[in-house]
Amino acid sequence: MSLDALLDRDAVGIAAAFRAGEASAAEIAEAAIARIVARNPVLNAFTDVTADRARARAAALDAAKAKGESLPPLAAAPFAVKNLFDIAGLPTRAGSRINRDLPPATADATLVTRMEGAGALLLGGLNMGEYAYDFTGENAHDGPSRNPHDVTRMTGGSSGGSGGAVAGGLATIALGSDTNGSIRVPSSFCGTFGLKPTYGRLSRGGSFPFVTALDHVGPLARSVRDLAASYDVMQGADARDPGCTVRAPEPIGSGFDSGVEGIRIARLGGWFARNRLAESDAALDLACAALRVTEEAELPEAERARGAAFLITMAEAAEFHGPRLRTHPADFDPAVRDRLIAGALLPASWVQTAQRFRRWFADAAASLVARHDVLIAPATPMSAPKLGTQTVMLDGVELPLRPNIGVYTQPISFIGLPVVAVPLWPAGRSLPLAVQVIAPAWREDLALRVARALERDGVARAPVAPFGA
Amino acid sequence: MPDPIPPDSEALLDALLPATGIPMDPAWRAAVIANLRVAGPIATSLQLFPLPDSTEPAPIFEPGR
């Protein structure tokens, strides 16, 4: 097998190849860098490439192996991070023009440190929608990240470069953030697995915030075992993130492959059965048929929940960006700026009502997940639209595309439940689409087991797109 | 108790923008108002929902952390 072809394996597979002596870490790093040089001009997934850093880490791994030292679980697996994660030596641009004038980060984000501690090779920072306020993967300053399965289409956002890098074979694992759907949407459009863990499970230390009440971070990958392996090495308390749990880590290990027997699964109806296109129906039907799901459940008031998340997002993001809005308003992406200015004008009582509603909705969801261990819902109403698309027809009504991409993801992140986005390939369609596998709080294990069952059955898969698609 | 009335987005903008200190170019006004017109009905819908008095807001502050 050529070194380049080796890069199509998942992270655990590449680490195994390195341990078995199929390739050195240095060779893997060079192949990964060469692939970025070849493909990134088309995919526009990377905004910064940390080639020297990857080479240095690879040399250290090769030296450790030569000395017979034990090797960490993700040794020599190439990974990358959305450019809102601090990478020492680079300004944390968070998709913006304004932030590139910041001094370079003096330390890495906590999760970058933990992934490197597990042996993974950091290749660089990834394109994203400005300040994460985006569902498309388009960026007014860096250009759009492009979908590897059809480069005329959106990656989804805001972790657009993360979806593009993983589906395009430029990284095995990419870290993203998800406030209202920004891991799950690119997973759906690019056909990758994605894990949005329970709110507070993984540290946001050293990442540039969007809406702290709703911000989550997690991995996108091409296999469930890579989600599980990276999730395990990234868990743990962190004083840098006041929202990070102090619960002891609960590693998944190989438990993700223990089947779905005994897990009570239902598909979500109501809000989650409205406003979607046929391809989204087809993906959901595929997943439910494979899992033999016959029950339907309803999460009450999901539409209001989506609205409440929308208001909290507007207001919190506007407050956070207030100083920049007052000093550099013309330097924002106009679409982001206009939403932020509107957010700065929302009466405080609206936001407080939304936060109280959040409590009510979380309680309603807890009652539901007491009856069903796992809920299945679509991730997006449609597969990847063409870049530049402004509107979409849903249930016969023409609606603005951007806010409607996240209609199914927003109510779930609003209450912090863990979700695995699982990519499916409905028959007769060339583009993927994901379903959300939703579990009770702190039960990522259940969502990963269901995702793995779909992967093992061959229903779900996340292949590297042929380059030039 | 009367139901909440969806706000007049233009009036909201004109009343509150000066308090924010944000220097808004008049060319941005229409887009900002369009965003307020999305937010207003959402707020009204939430205000119409009968939340029990016992329902506390979701964020928790933990002293000492």
**First vs last C-alpha separation in chain B:** 41
CA distances from A256 to A44, A148, A231 (A): 33, 28, 12
Q: Do A355 and B59 touch (CB under 8 A)?
A: yes
Which of A352, A357, A362 faces B49 most closely, judged by CB atoms?
A357
Asked whether residue A469 carries a pLDDT value surpassing 70, the answer given is no
**What pLDDT was estimated at residue A396?**
85
Which of B12, B17, B49 faces A304 most closely, judged by CB atoms?
B49
- Cα A118 from chain centroid (whole Å): 20
Instruction: Return the structure tokens found at A351.
Output: 């936001």
For chain A, the domain total comes to 1
Q: How far apart are CA A395 and CA A391, in angstroms?
A: 13
Residues of B in contact with A337 (CB under 8 A): 28
Measured N-to-C along each axis, helices A278-290 and A444-456 cross at an angle, to the nearest 10 degrees, of 90
Residues of B in contact with A358 (CB under 8 A): 57-58
Chain A residue with CA closest to B31: the answer is A338
ipTM above 0.90, yes or no: yes
Nearest to A71 by CA among A123, A113, A18, A23: A18
In one-letter notation, the amino acid at residue B33 is I
Q: Among A65, A82, A159, A196, which one carries the catalytic annotation? A: A82
Instruction: Give the pairing type, strands A374-378 and A265-268.
Output: parallel
pLDDT in tens, A6-65: 999 999 999 999 999 999 999 999 999 999 999 999 999 999 999 999 999 999 999 999
Q: Which of residues 336-375 of A touch B (CB under 8 A)?
A: 337-339, 341-347, 350, 352-360, 362
**What pLDDT was estimated at residue A257?**
98
Q: Do B49 and A326 touch (CB under 8 A)?
A: no
Q: How far apart are CA A111 and CA A88, in angstroms?
A: 13
Q: How far apart are CA A146 and CA A43, in angstroms?
A: 5
Instruction: Return the structure tokens found at B10.
Output: 């233009």
The CATH code of the domain that includes A402 is 3.90.1300.10
**What pLDDT was estimated at residue B64?**
63
Nearest to A96 by CA among A209, A214, A262, A244: A209
Which residue shows structure tokens 């994203």? A128
pLDDT in tens, A226-258: 999 999 999 999 999 999 999 999 999 999 999
Band (pLDDT 50/70/90 cuts) for residue A277 is confident
Question: What b-and-e string marks burial along B14-43, b requiring 16 or more CB atoms within 10 Å of the CB?
Answer: eeebeeeebebeeebbebbbebbbbbbebb
Instruction: Give the pairing type, strands A296-297 and A150-154.
Output: unpaired
- The alpha carbon of residue B5 is apart from the nearest alpha carbon of chain A, in Å, by 13
Is A187 an annotated catalytic residue?
no
Q: How far apart are CA A310 and CA A313, in angstroms?
A: 5
Q: How far apart are CA A139 and CA A204, in angstroms?
A: 23
pLDDT in tens, A296-348: 999 999 999 999 999 999 999 999 999 999 999 999 999 999 999 999 999 99
Instruction: Return the structure tokens found at A326.
Output: 């007052």
Decide if A463 is inside a domain.
no
Decide if A59 is inside a domain.
yes
Which of A307, A326, A352 faces B57 most closely, judged by CB atoms?
A352
CA distances from A29 to A22, A34, A58, A212, A215 (A): 14, 9, 7, 35, 31
Say whether A426 sits in a helix, a strand or coil: coil
Domain ranges in chain B? Answer: 9-47
Q: How far apart are CA B35 and CA A339, in angstroms?
A: 6
Instruction: Return the structure tokens found at A319.
Output: 């407050």
Q: Do A344 and B36 touch (CB under 8 A)?
A: no
Give the mean model confidence (pLDDT) for residues A64-68.
98
DSSP codes of every residue in A302-355: HHHHHHHHHHHHHHHHHHHTHHHHHH-GGGS-HHHHHHHHHHTTS-HHHHHHHH
Q: How far apart are CA B3 and CA A167, in angstroms?
A: 49
Q: How far apart are CA A446 and CA A460, in angstroms?
A: 17
**What pLDDT was estimated at residue A322?**
97
| Main-chain phi, psi angles of A420, to 5 degrees | -105, 125
Decide if A461 is inside a domain.
no
Residues of A in contact with B43 (CB under 8 A): 311, 346-347, 350, 353-354
Q: Do A329 and B24 touch (CB under 8 A)?
A: yes
Mutate one of A301, A310, A333, A338 to test the B interface: name it (highest B CB count within 10 A): A338
Edge to edge, the sheet with strand A78-82 lists A46-49, A121-126, A78-82, A173-178, A216-221, A193-196, A419-424, A433-438, A374-378, A265-268, A296-297
| Main-chain phi, psi angles of A48, to 5 degrees | -140, 135
**What pLDDT was estimated at residue A394?**
85
- The alpha carbon of residue A353 is apart from the nearest alpha carbon of chain B, in Å, by 7
Whether chain A has a CB inside 8 Å of the CB on B18: the answer is: no
Which of A307, A325, A359 faces B46 most closely, judged by CB atoms?
A307
Which domain, by its residues, includes A313? 3-456
Say whether A167 sits in a helix, a strand or coil: helix
Q: Do B23 and A353 touch (CB under 8 A)?
A: no
Band (pLDDT 50/70/90 cuts) for residue A175 is very high
Instruction: Return the structure tokens found at A3.
Output: 């070194």
**What pLDDT was estimated at residue A145?**
98
